[in-house]
Amino acid sequence: MDAESYQKTVDQIAPKRPVLLNCMKAFLTGGIICAIGQLVSFVFMYFFSFTERTASNPSVATMVFLSMVLTGFGIYKKIGQFGGAGSAVPVTGFGNAVISAAIEHKSEGFILGVGVNMFKLAGPVIVYGVFSAFVVALIKTILVKMGVISW
Amino acid sequence: MKKTGTYQFASKPSIVSTAVSVGPLEKVSPFHPHFDFIYEDERIGQETNEKGHSQLIEDTCNMAVTKGGFQLQDIDLLLAGDLVNEMTPTNFAARQLATPFMGMFSACATSVSSLITASFFLETKLMDKVMFGAASQHNAVERQFRYPIEYGAQKPPTGQWTVTGGGYGILSHHQTGKPYVHSATIGQVMDCECTDPLDMGSAMAPAAFDTIQKHLAQNKGTSYDFVMTGDLGKNGFSILQELIKSSGVSSYLVDNYRDAGAEFYGNEEKFLSGASGAGCSATVYYGPIYAELLAGKWKKILLVATGALLSPLSFQQGETIPCIAHAVELSME
Amino acid sequence: MMKKLWIISLILLGVAGCSEEFKVSTYHVDDDQQEIETLTKVFKDNQNLSEAAAVFFDHQLVVSVQVQQMSKFKKEKIRKSIEKKVKSAFPDHDVYVSSDLKITWELKKIIDEQPTTDELKKDLKKVKALAKEET
């Protein structure tokens, strides 16, 4: 049996991911999460002295806290199975990645378990986030120095 | 001539006793009336998943010994395995059981590879009672091969659910009224360049097909009640059926194919393509199937356990997923 | 039937949400109607605004503007152009223009309460400090 023709058979038989439906589910899930985030941000602005600019930090912290609670109770993975990227892309997905790894590795102790593995899944986001920010800043600096654009 | 790996056991070693225990989620399985013990706790009351895994193996082995009316010191050899790194759960359970022990690893095909090996030992007459089997624990296996349990990653419809459970049996010299091992086919590793670790069914189907084909070719004219694969899942099983249909194998006297993984959780959508793991084939083969053989419902069956021989490292390095399948033919007189 | 009703009500909601009327609220301690007129005209000239609030006090002018939903991406540009126009219209005033929702709320609170001079001075100081916070 050669691998190529076998892969064709697999492609024919394997159930397809319902891409369109998944996109809609992701849109809905992500939308709801972001709407909740907006609400939280309004609460910080309305009841506390935060402006639109300064409310974002406490809002993010609150959303991460919420995702931590949901992860701990085993609800977030169900949301993830339903929503896919819709629940992975917002900051709650980042929180879920950090916390699920921390819970998982608690059995190996706080240093070698939690400490070492906490950013096992979220680490790439930080590494490449910082790296791409550096690259973009570098490009912009060069363009500004050349006088193409201004800050 | 190339060896096919098929052997007949003239001494007809019998499976004299089996025991199967599963975790709490496996209660939904249509097979559950045949499970000897269902734990209420996924961790079997232990601090860590791995300790729970070990406890499950130890408990189930003890159960198999007690059910057969034996004692642990009667066991000549324990042949068993699991999927966790370096097989610590089985090794640690063997420490508690304190019987002569050899670890077996054929991934999810360990349930059958251990039975085949046991049959050879029995055939030499050097041993009287060999215990065999395999187990898996959902959390311990998932964390090793995939993501943390609570991580909200979306699984595709081809994804499978690792069973928490273990099935162990004791093989002894031929006894009338007990199912015996008629023959076995030791599979070869097949690689059809599948790379998706969330679609093990299609990776394993060619290995199952190859082993079934070899075994049936050596036993032409034999009529089987059914051929049951281990943990192909719904997706892998339909691919296997397609492979069988498009080849000449369908002309053999088998018209009933089954898959333990596809049947394990019934039609619960949560489990996607079905069950997987070393515990899947072990619990089904040595629980409900053994009980039905014992009751005389089946006369001759072929059990084909399949295993995906990957590690998290190998697929991250872009290697394909090689697979293996071992077949054992059980008969009841 | 239910589905149709849903769609219709959604469309109505959308239309109602979009065609929100442009509101200007102002508070002038000395009640100089002419200055208010001038300022209102600056706001009305810009098509992108949805809401504006302004407080005049002792040659200080604190303005906050909200832009329409679809213009949110150009918010900072709009704010700058408003600031430029207001500054040229009131050269003798200390002008401060913000596009922050919180500042709009705070200014509207002041406008509703119509506080005394002393309180107003304190309130405006607070609003300006708030607007300058970076993180």
Which chain A residues are closer than 8 Å to B156 by Cβ?
A: 17
Angstroms from A7 CA to nearest CA on chain C: 43
Evaluate whether B187 touches B207 at the Cβ level (below 8 Å).
yes
Output the CA torsion sign for B21, B24, B27, B33. Answer: positive
Residues of A in contact with B49 (CB under 8 A): 107
Q: 């060999």: which residue's tokens?
A: B130
**Do the two chains C and A touch, given a threshold of 8 Å on CB pairs and at least 3 pairs?**
yes
Q: How far, in Å, CA of B166 to CA of B164, rounded?
A: 7
C7 shares contact with chain A (CB less than 8 Å)? no
Under an 8 A CB cutoff, do A100 and B149 touch? yes
Q: CB neighbours of B142 closer than 8 A, spacing ≥ 6?
A: B149, B162
Do chains C and B touch, with touching meaning 3 or more CB–CB pairs less than 8 Å apart? no
CB B157 within 8 A of CB A15: yes
How does strand B165-172 pair with strand B130-136?
A: antiparallel
A66 touches chain B (CB under 8 A): no
- Cβ of A68 under 8 Å from any chain B Cβ? no
Q: Which two tokens stand for residue B97?
A: 């059981």
For residue B245, what pLDDT is reported? 86
pLDDT confidence of residue A147: 84
- C20 band by pLDDT with thresholds 50, 70 and 90: low
- The residue among A11, A13, A66, A71 with the most chain B CBs within 10 A of its CB, best to mutate, is A13
Strand partners, C55: C27, C62
A54·C133 Cβ contact <8 A? yes
CB contact under 8 A, A1 and B151: no
B304 three-class SS: strand
| CB contact C100 to A (< 8 Å) | yes
pLDDT in tens, A35-47: 999 999 999 999 9
Which ranges constitute the DSSP H helices of B126-254? 138-145, 200-218, 233-245
- C122 vs B70, more confident: B70
Subunits in contact with chain C (3 or more CB pairs closer than 8 Å): A
Give the neighbours of chain A: at least 3 Cβ pairs within 8 Å: B, C
Q: Per-residue confidence of chain B (333 residues) as pLDDT tens digits?
A: 788 899 999 999 999 999 999 999 999 999 999 999 999 999 999 999 999 999 999 999 999 999 999 999 999 999 999 999 999 999 999 999 999 999 999 999 999 999 999 999 999 999 999 999 999 999 999 989 888 889 988 899 999 999 999 999 999 999 999 999 999 999 999 998 999 989 999 999 999 999 999 999 888 888 899 999 999 999 999 999 989 888 866 556 677 899 999 999 998 888 999 999 999 999 999 999 999 999 999 999 999 999 999 999 998 999 999 999 999 999 998
Strands B226-229, B257-259: parallel, antiparallel or unpaired by DSSP?
parallel
What is the Cα–Cα distance from B333 to B181, expressed in whole angstroms?
11
pLDDT band at C135 (very low <50, low <70, confident <90, very high): low
List B15's β-bridge partners, or say none. Answer: B171
**CB-based burial, C4-21: b 16+ in 10 Å, e otherwise:** eeeeeeeeeeeeeeeeee
**In chain A, where are the structural domains located?**
3-120, 122-151
The closest CB to that of A79, out of B143, B152, B155, belongs to B152
pLDDT of residue C7: 67
Chain B: list its partners (3+ Cβ pairs within 8 Å): A
A79, A85, A101 member nearest B148 (Cβ): A101
Q: Which residues, including other chains, have CB under 8 Å from residue A106's CB and lie 6 or more apart?
A: A113, A114
A16 chain-B contacts, CB cut-off 8 A:
157
Please give the domain boundaries of chain C with CATH numbers for all domains.
Answer: 21-132 (3.30.300)
When scoring A17, A104, A107, A119 by the number of chain B Cβ atoms within 10 A, the one with the most, hence best to mutate, is A104
DSSP chain A: --HHHHHHHHHHHSPPP-HHHHHHHHHHHHHHHHHHHHHHHHHHHHHSS--TTTTHHHHHHHHHHHHHHHHHTT-HHHHHHHHTHHHHSSHHHHHHHHHHHHHHGGGG-IIIIIIHHTTTTTHHHHHHHHHHHHHHHHHHHHHHHHTSS--
For chain B, list the domains and their CATH numbers. 6-172 (3.40.47.40), 180-331 (3.40.47.40)
Low pLDDT (below 50) residues in chain A = none
Q: What is the pLDDT of residue B20?
A: 97
Contact B152 A81 (CB under 8 A): yes
Q: What is the pLDDT of residues C38-86, one digit of tens each?
A: 888 888 888 888 888 988 888 888 899 998 888 888 888 888 999 999 9
Taking a C-beta distance cutoff of 8 angstroms, is the pair B203, B65 a contact? Answer: no
A53 and chain C in contact, CB less than 8 A:
yes
Tell me the residues of B at the A interface, defined by beta carbons under 8 Å apart.
47-50, 143, 147-158, 191-194, 199, 202, 206, 209-210, 235, 238-239, 242-243, 273
Which residue in chain A has the smallest CA separation from C100?
A: A52
Whether B48 and A105 have beta carbons less than 8 Å apart is answered as no
β pairing state of B37-38 and B14-22: parallel
Where b means 16+ CB within 10 Å and e means fewer, B210-219 reads bbbbbbbebb
- Containing B147, the helix (H) or strand (E) segment is none
Buried b or exposed e, range B115-134, using 16+ CB within 10 angstroms: bbbbbbbbbeeebbbbbbbb
The shortest CB-CB distance from C135 to any of A46, A49, A57 is to A57
- Report the run of H or E that residue C115 belongs to, with start and end: none
* Exposure on the CB side of residue B1, measured as CA atoms within 13 A: 3
Residues in chain B: 333
pLDDT at residue number A72 = 94
Mutation target vs C (from A39, A42, A52, A151; most C CBs, 10 A cutoff): A52
A-chain residues near C123 (CB < 8 A): none
Per CB-CB distance under 8 Å, the chain C contacts of A53 are 100, 133-135
Closest CA to C24 of C126, C104, C83: C104
| Cβ neighbours around B70 below 10 Å, total | 18
Chains B and A are touching, with contact defined as 3 or more CB–CB pairs separated by less than 8 Å: yes
C-beta atoms of A51 and C105 within 8 A = no
- For residue B203, the distance in angstroms to the closest alpha carbon of chain A comes to 9
